Homo-oligomer: A and B are copies of this chain.
């Protein structure tokens, strides 16, 4: 009855890319590779409790008063130093905006750049939360695929030539969600050159960059930016704890100003109490040492998943071999719909859950893939779950063959 009164961006016929991702399976044997949540057994709860207490003692009532749109100065300075050290991005607190998770950062850049119908490029498969954010601004999507060393730049340049109005490109260059792929340094520099040549903005969304299990993080795409075209986004969600709801972005010049204006109008400011607690945590604890502990655990979980893929999955299936982050991407033979298979077979019988490919494509037109997340599970549970999933996939492929 009231639908006529809504803005077109509500688009009730198109469900959010974020809806329906997770099935609640109460079976005691259920194993979920779906949720991309960090492992809460690794959360530094006692240290963070102390950090809240320290921040309140240190600042007193003023901590709870309105503060600033950009967020806590001291924390922003620490983050600037961190991305200088680990990403070769040399910036200052003045170019950093603290956001409500990385999600708000994506939303704000989209809001500052996109008119309805504007052309944007997303790598595919693409992070579902980014698609959900972009959808609201009603863009015209162009999908560019991934190669083992990241975005297919030849396909990208073809797309840019055919659509000279493209304004924005979204990429997760480090341990990509959902594939685990990392973009090479050569491609990072080349991508910035393309942005300069074809006049577009790059969102570099990098929440997993610290979680590298074999080497050190690579220079950020932003480190090659000479024209203020790259917005670097990261977050405390994966390296500290997600419900602190603290993401951050680095941007320059008038692009920073436009994002700032969108932010002020959207919610005035994020939570300075949380910022002060994170700042106190980083003052009194060694965040890098904590990240080392995380990496030690996640590395073994990642290895267990790859071993499972090697040992239990049929030859017709291909998969990525990530060296960091939370995710593996499995590609099934063409014609297999991983979403239908999940609902008809794998979840009800094997009690395994994953996120099917469909959710990761802006036009929901690719179905033969699955995102598997290892972050929340022990190596033993991963092994058991992968065994059951591999058997279920084999059986499904066998049925398909039998039907031919």
Binding site for B on A (CB under 8 A): 1-3, 5-10, 12, 16, 18-19, 35, 37-38, 40-41, 43, 45, 48-49, 52-53, 56-57, 60-67, 99-101, 103-104, 107, 111-115, 118, 129, 132-133, 135-137, 167, 199-201, 227-229, 241-245, 253-255, 257-258, 261-262, 264-274
Q: Is the CB of B111 within 8 A of A268?
A: no
7 nearest A-B pairs in the assembled complex, by CB-CB distance? A64-B241, A100-B267, A104-B267, A40-B61, A43-B61, A245-B271, A132-B265
Q: Which residues of B contact A63 (CB under 8 A)?
A: 45, 243
Q: Contacts of A100 on B, CB cut-off 8 Å?
A: 100, 267-268, 270-271
The answer to whether A271 and B274 have CB atoms under 8 Å apart is yes
- Once the chains are docked, how many angstroms separate the CA of A120 from the CA of B100? 29
Q: A61-B43, A245-B270 are in contact. Are A136 and B111 (CB under 8 A)?
A: yes
Contact across chains for B113 and A6 when beta carbons are under 8 A apart: yes
Contact B243 A272 (CB under 8 A): yes
Q: How far is the CB of A312 from chain B (nearest CB, A)?
A: 29
Given A10-B262, A132-B264, A245-B271, A2 and B107 touching (CB < 8 A)? Answer: no
Query: Which B residues are CB-close (under 8 A) to A37?
Result: 65-66
Not counting A5-B200, A111-B136, A132-B265, a sample of 6 additional A-B residue pairs whose C-beta atoms are within 8 angstroms of each other reads A3-B254, A18-B264, A35-B66, A133-B266, A266-B266, A271-B271
Contacts of A266 in B (CB 8 A): 103-104, 107, 133, 136, 266
Residues of B within 8 A of A241 (CB): 64-65
Give the nearest-CB partner of A229 in chain B: B2
Residues of B close to A264: CB separation below 8 A: 16, 18-19, 132
- From residue A28, how far is it (CB to closest CB) to chain B in Å? 19
User: Which residues on B sit within 8 Å (CB–CB) of A19?
Assistant: 264
Q: Are A255 and B2 in contact (CB under 8 A)?
A: yes
Q: State the Cβ distance, A101 to closest chain B Cβ, in Å.
A: 6
Are A64 and B242 in contact, with the CB atoms below 8 A? yes
- Contact between A48 and B64, CB atoms less than 8 A apart: yes
Nearest-neighbour CB distance to chain B for A334, whole angstroms, equals 31
Q: Which residues of B contact A104 (CB under 8 A)?
A: 266-267
